[in-house]
Amino acid sequence: MNYSKILGTGSYLPKKILTNEELSKTVETSHQWIVERTGIAARHIASTTETTTRMGTIAAKKALEAADLSPKDIDMIVVVTCTPDKFFPSTACLIQQELGIPPCPAFDVQAACSGFIYGLSVIDQFVRSGMAKRPLLIGSEVMSKLVDWQDRRTCVLFGDGAGAVAFAASDEPGILSTEIGADGYQKDILYVDNKPGAFIQMEGSAVFKLAVMKLEEVASKTLKNNHLTVHDIDWLVPHQANIRIIKATADKLGLPMERVIITLTEHGNTSGASVPLALDAGIRSGKIKRGQHLLLEAFGGGLTWGTALIRY
């Protein structure tokens, strides 16, 4: 059986850090107000040169280095983003050129904050079918360009960054299963219109309730389908949207926060880059070790959601 085994991870965060204290000088808010409601203390904001393509390229280079692979080894590129630099060509094609990866399938996936889980599901199907042997999955976002910096409900939440994972087909377990879903009937509680000057629109309380319900539901289904319990999970690697959502989901699953990877405090919500950034942080810090079971989960606009069970 061909498993999608993680060989290496990488990440990139913009140099500029915007703290809550700095935000409070331009919008009616405070450090305490933001931390109590979101768990966020700071976020990284991209400069004009730190584009979705550029950040994704740097994160991918680090992942390839960690995997001991060269660009010529890669035979598929999938980029998850809702903030591409161009309508077309895809960000995946732009990164392919930047890295010098030979001609191969390259395309973008858009599922908002759930994008990386959707991307994991896509590349895993290609690996299992034998159509890809060394795929590269990248999440890169410049969410700051979609934020109304006078709207304190949303401007405190989002940040920019990129994360990447290099995979290889292997007989050893890697991605054990993925579960993805969507409910387009809930499209109006979290969206951005495609028109000049449009910003993120969000009904926070509705998103919170649905996120906790769906994440607990899909995570429990994933564990049941793999004949595992929460005690078999070494680390929960969640989308870093809001500390209250993360805590509520972990509590419903019966998972202590000591086994949850948290990067939200310094990164904010980086949408499709959130999960790979947290995964890379967990691996590079030494918390996540080979052989451990990881449960990745995310929830985003669409509405979309998903989980991935991985043996690292």
Q: Active-site residues: which are they?
A: 113, 239, 269
Name the nearest CA neighbour of 136 among 85, 95, 78: 78
Q: Are 11 and 280 in contact (CB under 8 A)?
A: yes
> Is 35 in a helix, a strand, or coil?
helix
Counting Cα atoms < 13 Å in the Cβ hemisphere of 203 gives: 9
On whether the CB atoms of residues 141 and 300 are closer than 8 A, the answer is no
Helices (H), 185-286: 204-225, 243-253, 264-267, 274-284
Q: How far is CA 94 from CA 11, 89, 90, in A?
A: 18, 7, 7
Contacts of 197 (CB under 8 A, 6+ apart): none
Distance (Å, rounded) from C-alpha 46 to C-alpha 12? Answer: 11
* Beta strand spans in 97-248 (E): 106-109, 135-142, 160-170, 175-182, 190-191, 201-202, 235-238
CB-based contacts of 118, cutoff 8 Å, min separation 6:
80, 109, 111, 180, 304, 306
HSE (side-chain half, CA atoms, 13 Å) at 233: 33
Query: Cβ(56)–Cβ(162) under 8 Å?
Result: yes
DSSP conformation letters of 51-98: -HHHHHHHHHHHHHHHHT--GGG--EEEEE-SS-S-SSS-HHHHHHHH
- Kindly state the tokens that stand for 306: 């998903």
